[in-house]
Amino acid sequence: MKGMRRRAISDVIATLLLLGITVAGAVLVTAFFQGNSAFRPDASNPGTQSASIKIIGYDTRDSTDLSGIDFLDNYLDSPTPFLCTISCNTDADALPDAAAAGGTEFIVLTVRNQGISKVTLQGVEINDIDHSWDSTTSTFDLSATHYPTAGKFSIISTSGTIQSSTNELQRNAEARLVIKLSDNISEDIDVNQPIRTRITTNLLDPSASIITSGGVR
């Protein structure tokens, strides 16, 4: 009789355990398919979201009219073109000119926010040197008198030249980042050389992307 009672109790416990596991599994599956915040990125907790910014175009030519903008001119070095960085440190904030006299040169990145919510563009790393957003350019038309200083960038739309008042990019939106190269970049960037880029945001940051100096896409 004692053995029968123990077996009966064991059967009841086993049944209860199986029932509990089944219920727990059903709850987890239901939560997953209903989009519970434990299983998806939540806009209220941006640190959990995956990277969403993608570089979809660039202009890194040592030439004039970068990205179709009339005044945005790099000084064309001859015979070997290069993007001036460390050798333009006499007045790095000045517009590009002959290497001995002018400031650092520009590149333009076109980016898209592919994520589910807006992101804050906190910085752009170029060859391991961070370039921050230049808030002093806010609402000014990009021109020879209003442009980002060396080591910083401003944000314009893909069709206009008014510099953004914020460094946020809405979801599904595209923008151009006008970057004035830092004179802390350890070497000038020769034409056809790779440029390591990484855009840092308030979300998880992507790995570095490689673009080519002297190119346009």
| Strand duo 129-133 + 152-156: pairing | parallel
C-alpha gyration radius of the chain: 27
Residue 107: strand, helix, or coil: strand
> Measuring CA to CA, which residue among 177, 179, 180 is closest to residue 167?
177
Q: Return the pLDDT at 101.
A: 67
Q: Extract the tokens encoding 93.
A: 């904030």
Helix boundaries (H) for the chain = 2-33
Query: CA–CA separation, 212 vs 142, rounded Å?
Result: 24
pLDDT in tens, the chain (217 residues): 544 555 555 666 767 677 777 767 665 655 555 544 444 444 444 444 456 899 999 999 999 999 999 989 999 887 889 999 999 888 999 999 865 568 999 999 999 999 889 999 999 999 999 999 999 999 999 999 999 999 999 999 999 999 999 999 999 999 999 999 999 999 999 999 999 999 999 987 777 899 999 999 9
Amino acid at 165: S
Domain ranges in the chain? Answer: 1-40, 47-212
**pLDDT score for 37:** 41
Query: CA 47, 50, 53 angle in degrees (round to 5)?
Result: 110
Residue type, 3: G
Note whether 148 and 167 are within 8 A (CB): no
127 φ, ψ (degrees, to nearest 5): 50, 45
pLDDT of residue 39: 41
Maximum alpha-carbon separation in the chain: 103
pLDDT value, residue 22: 75
Q: Report yes or no on whether pTM surpasses 0.95.
A: no
Per-residue confidence (pLDDT) for residue 115, from 0 to 100: 87
For the stretch 43-57, pLDDT in tens is 444 444 456 899 999
Residues with Cβ within 8 Å of 199's Cβ and at least 6 positions away in sequence, in order, are 53, 55, 109, 111, 121, 123, 124, 125, 177, 205, 206
Non-local (6+) Cβ contacts of 148 within 8 A are 134, 137, 154, 178, 179, 180
The pLDDT score that the predictor gives to residue 208 is 86
Instruction: List b or e across 28-66, with b for residues whose CB sees 16 or more CB atoms inside 10 angstroms.
Output: eeeeeeeeeeeeebbeeebeebebbbebebbbbbbeeeb
Tell me, what's the pLDDT at 204?
A: 77
pLDDT of residue 7: 54
Strand partners, 45: none
Q: What is the pLDDT of residue 60?
A: 97
